[in-house]
Amino acid sequence: MMDRYSRQKQFKPIGDAGQKKISEKHVLMVGCGALGSANAEMLVRAGIGKLTIIDRDYVEYSNLQRQTLFTEQDCLDQIPKAVAAKNRLHAINSMVKIDAYVMDATSESLFPLLDNVDLIMDATDNFDIRLTLNDLTHKMNIPWIMGSCVGSTGMSYTILPNETPCLQCLLDITPAMNATCDSVGIISPAVQMVAAHQTTEALKLFVEDTEALRTKLVTFDLWNNQYHMINVSRAKKDTCPTCGNEPSYPHLNYEFQTKSEVLCGRNTVQIRSNRAYEIETLAGRLQTVGPVKTNPYLVSVEYKGYRIVFFRDGRALIHGTNSKEIAKTIYYQLVG
């Protein structure tokens, strides 16, 4: 039988030795939507040793346009994304060990999964989880590769603890977009472009070709033919609470985490973020999602049969459900 990795091993930076290293690596994929599907498939086809997938959602028809591991039958059966991905990936490469967890990604749920993990791949849909990942990876000294996309745009950056600036450092010098796929849409080529950057960086790490690692933040807009490589090396700060000289890992602490609670008798879940909302900006962005009402204190929007109310102080009420999981899904679809 022909070696399934023969073409990959013919690529000189990998070769036989590199392929052996790849087969010994364990990747934790946080999120298995668009980026998770694309990255997971490429990594499994490349022959990694183990893939652990965590995702809280199930497959819907709107996913099929860009989430490449799923089928119409997965939608009809409402299969959790992590489970559907595992089934498909096993059919692609039965030699890769794949674990799937249907649950929310939090510092508490992620921590037990970090044993023997060589790399964490960011395929999440919100910055709360990314900031948690940022603290966890630095505390545990695990590299991670950040990625995000919306519309025709995307970005990626490889974060190496004790070497590169961390996400917290980058947020101090780059503006937050806050756009989401639900508010401005997305085209699938943007997903594939980000995933290509992420998986390529992962392969470089696996074969220990550190000289080839991309040290810059990459951003692009496929529709408007823009591509930028940004040198962010000077963003690293000694005072950073995550990667500085005296790290405190704030986003692993309860007071910095987004919290949710069911409001008794109201069929409503309250979500409290540690960031305030700029009501006017948020109202303008939500116009594309559904009917919006606003006053000086709050903005509300009708979305997928729910009514979501955002207050200036960082609170949001999701009316129409008592499920924290559903409420958080709706919340992140709207605010990113």
Instruction: Report pLDDT digits (tens) over 92-140.
Output: 999 999 999 988 888 888 999 999 999 999 999 777 889 999 999 999 9
What pLDDT shows up at residue 238? Answer: 93
What pLDDT shows up at residue 220? Answer: 96
Q: What is the pTM of this model?
A: 0.82
Mean pLDDT taken over the chain: 91
Please tell me the distance from the alpha carbon of residue 279 to that of residue 160, in angstroms, as a whole number.
36
What pLDDT shows up at residue 90? Answer: 97
Determine the average pLDDT of the residues in 156-160.
Answer: 97
| pLDDT band at residue 215 using 50, 70 and 90 as cut-offs | very high
Cα torsion at 135, 140, 143, 149 (round to 10°)?
-30
**Residue bearing the bigger pLDDT, 55 or 177:** 55
Nearest Cα neighbor of 115 from 162, 175, 161, 52 is: 52
- CA angle in degrees (0–180, nearest 5) for 131-174-142: 35
Block residue for tokens 């040290």: 215
Determine the average pLDDT of the residues in 261-270.
Answer: 79
Q: What tens digit of pLDDT does each residue of 162-183 get?
A: 999 999 999 877 655 567 777 7
- CA angle in degrees (0–180, nearest 5) for 288-290-295: 95
Element (H, E) at 41: helix 34-46
Determine the average pLDDT of the residues in 197-213.
Answer: 97
Distances (CA, A) of 84 to 58, 91, 144, 174, 222: 9, 11, 24, 35, 29
CATH architecture of 6-252: 3-Layer(aba) Sandwich (3.40)
Q: Domain 258-335 is classified in which CATH homologous superfamily?
A: TATA-Binding Protein (3.30.310.10)
Q: Is the pLDDT of residue 261 over 80?
A: no
For the chain, give the percent of residues with pLDDT over 70.
96
Could you give the residue ranges of the DSSP H alpha helices within 47-187?
72-77, 81-92, 107-110, 127-140, 167-171, 181-184
* Residue 54: partners with Cβ closer than 8 Å, 6 or more residues away: 28, 29, 30, 31, 32, 82, 100, 101, 103, 105, 109, 110, 113
**Residue bearing the bigger pLDDT, 219 or 285:** 219
**Residue bearing the bigger pLDDT, 274 or 105:** 105
Please tell me the distance from the alpha carbon of residue 60 to that of residue 55, in angstroms, as a whole number.
14
Distances (CA, A) of 314 to 48, 180, 317, 331: 41, 18, 10, 12
> Picking from 94-103, 107-116, 191-200, 246-255, which range would have the lowest pLDDT averaged per residue?
246-255
User: Cα Rg for the chain, rounded, in angstroms?
Assistant: 20
Domain edges within the chain: 6-252, 258-335
Determine the average pLDDT of the residues in 257-282.
Answer: 79
Q: What tens digit of pLDDT does each residue of 2-37 get?
A: 799 999 999 999 999 999 999 999 999 999 999 999
Q: Is the pLDDT of residue 312 over 60?
A: yes
Domains 6-252 and 258-335 share a fold: no
Nearest Cα neighbor of 119 from 208, 32, 212, 188 is: 208
Cβ count within 10 A of residue 216: 13
For the chain, give the percent of residues with pLDDT over 90.
65
Taking the alpha carbons at both ends of the chain, their separation in whole angstroms is 47
